[in-house]
Amino acid sequence: MNIDADVINRIGSQLMLRAAQALKKEEFSQEEFSSVCSFLLDNLERCKTQEDIISFLTGLSDKWPLFSDYLAVERGKIVEKQEDVTVKRVEDLIHNNKLDEALKVAEGGATNNQ
C-alpha cells in the first residue's frame, strides 16, 4: 500500500522527537544522535510503501533498539489499516452478493494478519 508525504512527515517528526528526548536523557551520545539524523535523512523519504516503512523502522530498531517500541506501534497501525481495508472489501463483496470471493478475501486477510 502506497503512503503519502504526510505519513513520512508524521513518522519523521515522531522519530526526531524521540531521538531528541533520548539525547536529552543521555541515552544517545551526540555522535549517535548525529548518526540517527543521517539515517533518517538518507532513508525515510525513500519509503514509498508501508512495507518500506516497516523495513526502514526494522533497520532503525536494529541499529538503535530504543526505536523498537515505535516499530511495534507502527506495525500495529499498518495491520489495523490492512484489516480495515480487508473488512471494507469483504463488506463490498457481500454487498454485491459475491459471497465466495468475500470468504476468500476474509480468509486471506486473516492469514496475512496472523
Residue ranges binding other proteins (CB under 8 A): 9, 12-13, 15-17, 19-21, 23-24, 26, 30-31, 33-34, 36-38, 40-41
Tell me how far, at minimum, the Cβ of 112 lies from other proteins, in Å.
30
Tell me how far, at minimum, the Cβ of 91 lies from other proteins, in Å.
36
Count the Cβ atoms, other than its own, within 10 Å of residue 70: 16
> Shortest CA distance to 59 belongs to which of 32, 39, 45?
39
Q: Which is nearer to other proteins, 12 or 109 (CB)?
A: 12
Place of cell 472489501: 89
Q: Which is nearer to other proteins, 32 or 83 (CB)?
A: 32
Q: Which is nearer to other proteins, 39 or 61 (CB)?
A: 39
Q: Which is nearer to other proteins, 30 or 97 (CB)?
A: 30
Tell me how far, at minimum, the Cβ of 64 lies from other proteins, in Å.
13
